[in-house]
Chains A and B, each alone.
Chain A
Amino acid sequence: MAIILRLDRVMADRKMSLNELSEQVGISNVNLSKLKTGKVSAIRFSTLDAICRTLDCQPGDILEYSPTDSE
């Protein structure tokens, strides 16, 4: 998949832990961890909306399209 998740980078910038983010976003640590490591197949807009609101960022800060990396 050419879509890469940069959630760990944004979390580090905002100095936010996984537990704290999962509580504020309202999804489990397990699912957030899967999101962070790119082990998900889809993300709901509602989840993306909650993450961007919590981390005060844009969707483009978390999602990156890199076709050369997918080879």
Chain B
Amino acid sequence: MENTIEKNKNVRNINRIGKIMKIILRISQVFMVIGFIAVAAGMIILMAVPIDDIRIRPSFHLDVDYNTEDFNSSSSDLKLNNKKYDFDIEGFAVDLYTKTHKIDNKMSTLSVDGDGEEITGSEIRLFVMKKLIVAELFLAAAFVALTFGAKLAKALQKCDTPFSDEIIMRLTRFGKSLIPLGIISLFTSGISTGIVIPLLMLFLFISLFKYGAELQKEADGTV
């Protein structure tokens, strides 16, 4: 008759956390699928809607009243009178014109007029489609990463020791599944420490777990 060995308290905690992680990741996967379907539907609708003949000429006007003494003691106006500024917002040109005029000895008004270049329906469709395609790729990559994450969580839920070959394999696969997400983020928002540092830390932990597994094997061989 074999003696039953009670699990170490920390291993029981790991099992519990693994179970919670698995549930959260599975729920997140459902939201990813819903998001993926919604974006795909959006893309289909966008392709179907007849917007090619639409022309949009964005423009705006705003007036800002200000106290001249608050801004400049030597001059009665902000140095923004009759200035023109050119901007590029996501590939669309916007011109800003500023003009100032006095209301009284203390108050002046800054008027800003903005004109954007004419945008056609096709350009809008192309712009939105690009964003939706990136979103679909991100959701797909996130779903794959969550799948590997859920498998890791399931292994942690059932493990007798976190330093086993199975846990290390699942952790390594999860780490590798995050790389596509990192690449997509790199292209959409540039190099960011918000992605590089967590990925580096994950691979550091993988190396730590591999060392832990070696120590575990030595400990298992000791009676």
Interface residues of A (CB under 8 A from B): 19, 22, 27-32, 34-35, 40-44, 47
Give the number of chain B interface residues (Cβ < 8 Å).
Answer: 8
Contact assessment for A28 and B222 in the assembled complex, using a CB-CB cutoff below 8 Å: no
Expressed in whole angstroms, the minimum distance between the Cβ of A30 and any Cβ of chain B is 6
Expressed in whole angstroms, the minimum distance between the Cβ of B27 and any Cβ of chain A is 39
Q: Which chain B residue lies CB-closest to A48?
A: B223
* Choice from B1, B2, B222 contacting A43 with Cβ under 8 Å: B222
A37 to B222, CA, bound (A): 14
Q: Contacts A34-B223, A43-B223 hold; do A29 and B218 have CB atoms under 8 A apart?
A: no
Contact assessment for B223 and A47 in the assembled complex, using a CB-CB cutoff below 8 Å: yes
- Interface residues in B1-19 by Cβ distance below 8 A to A read 1-3, 5
Expressed in whole angstroms, the minimum distance between the Cβ of A18 and any Cβ of chain B is 10
Residue among B2, B3, B5, B221 with the most chain A CB within 10 A? B3
Contact assessment for B2 and A30 in the assembled complex, using a CB-CB cutoff below 8 Å: yes
Chain A residue numbers with a CB within 8 Å of B218 are 41-42
* Choice from A22, A34, A35, A43 contacting B3 with Cβ under 8 Å: A22
Q: Which chain A residue lies CB-closest to B221?
A: A41
A42 to B221, CA, bound (A): 6
* Choice from B2, B221, B222 contacting A29 with Cβ under 8 Å: B2
Chain A residue numbers with a CB within 8 Å of B5 are 28
Could you pull out 11 A-B pairs where Cβ atoms are within 8 angstroms? A27-B223, A28-B5, A29-B3, A30-B2, A35-B223, A40-B221, A40-B223, A41-B218, A42-B221, A42-B222, A42-B223
Expressed in whole angstroms, the minimum distance between the Cβ of B78 and any Cβ of chain A is 81
Expressed in whole angstroms, the minimum distance between the Cβ of A6 and any Cβ of chain B is 16
A71 to B2, CA, bound (A): 35
